[in-house]
Amino acid sequence: MNGPDQLNVPALVRRARDGAGVAPSGIPFPAPRSTTMELITRADWGAKPWQGTPRSVSLSERTTVMMHYHGDPPPYSTGVRVPREVEAIHLANGWSGVGYHFLVDQDGAVYEGRGWGLVGAHCPGYNRTGFGVYVAIGGSQKPSDAALRAARDVYDEACRRTGRTLAKKGHRDGISTQCPGDPLYDWVRDGMPRPGGGSSPGRPSVSLAKLVAAARNDPPRSGTPVSYSGVKTVEAALVKEGLLASRYADGHFGTATVSAYAAWQRRLGFSGSDADGIPGRTSLTRLGDKYRFDVTG
């Protein structure tokens, strides 16, 4: 019979299930809504029993998703040996077990560490409020597109479970460190965009290029053909933000929408030509993070 190291990782992938859970302390936490994030559970990758019981924490206290890397290039970048190696290091530190909430390998597999309901051990000041997400890279290594898509899936699922937009941070935002490395940190600072332009499950996507073209060329009156359907997604977000009257959310990026978008840019701290009402990647990504759409193109 094959040992755990010989197991085929794709065969271990589970769809995260609905249903209430119970933290090790015995405190129940509520059942999440359905999800399509794929997760390899602690049991599936062969995690050791906790050495002591990690404390539980409510989802209502979560504010942040924080990215981490290995430091030096890790000995393993794919497969179940990724979480096992990290677990061995953290146990040697005297911790209860894996300190990260989730671990992502270069094939895009997501492994359960401390999961959704436990306090982490990944960054002082963020162990209770932040979800720590480890990517199996180190040094100057770049994360694969598959790893970035998986990390984005974790972020989206964290926002869905908490019911709000969480801050995106790298380990160096919490303490003085090189972690999570420049390539991964640059991705975090760019807003954690989904590689390849795909949208998250159940979320609409908006093409930045098409939206900019609509803002510059959209017909001036309602009743004419909509130049790009993504305009309605953005207008709906601006209405919710209180910047656009609903009667102007007609699918045309006209003067009212340009003015509303300029107000959004100013709200983010932009000024001058950077707040001219023509969408840019940073402002559009921030709007999408808040109102649940992905930015492509």
List, for residues 87-122, the tens digit of each pLDDT value. Answer: 999 999 999 999 999 999 998 899 999 999 999 999
Domain 39-190 CATH (choose: 3.30.420.40, 3.40.80.10, 3.60.9.10, 3.90.1640.10): 3.40.80.10
39-190 and 205-295 have identical folds = no
pTM for the model: 0.62
Q: Which residues make Cβ contacts (< 8 Å) with residue 213, sequence separation at least 6?
A: 227, 228
Residue whose entry in the numeric block shows the structure tokens 């995690």: 47
- The angle, 0 to 180 degrees and rounded to 10, between the axes of the packed helices 281-291 and 230-240 is 70
What's the gap between Cα 287 and its chain centre?
15
pLDDT at 158: 93
Map 44-76 to HEC letters: HHCCCCCCCCCCECCHHHCCEEEEECCCCCCCC
| The architecture CATH gives domain 205-295 | Orthogonal Bundle (1.10)
CB atoms within 10 A of CB 62: 22
Residue 210, pLDDT score: 87
Angle at 35 between CA 295 and CA 128, to 5 degrees: 85
In this predicted structure, what is the pLDDT of residue 195? 83
What local confidence, expressed as pLDDT, does residue 197 receive? 59
Residues (pLDDT < 50) of the chain are 1-35
Model confidence over 241-270: pLDDT tens digits? 999 999 999 888 989 999 999 999 999 888
| Distance, CA of 4 to CA of 81 (rounded, Å) | 9
Q: Evaluate the CA torsion angle 189, 192, 198, 204 in order and state its sign.
A: negative
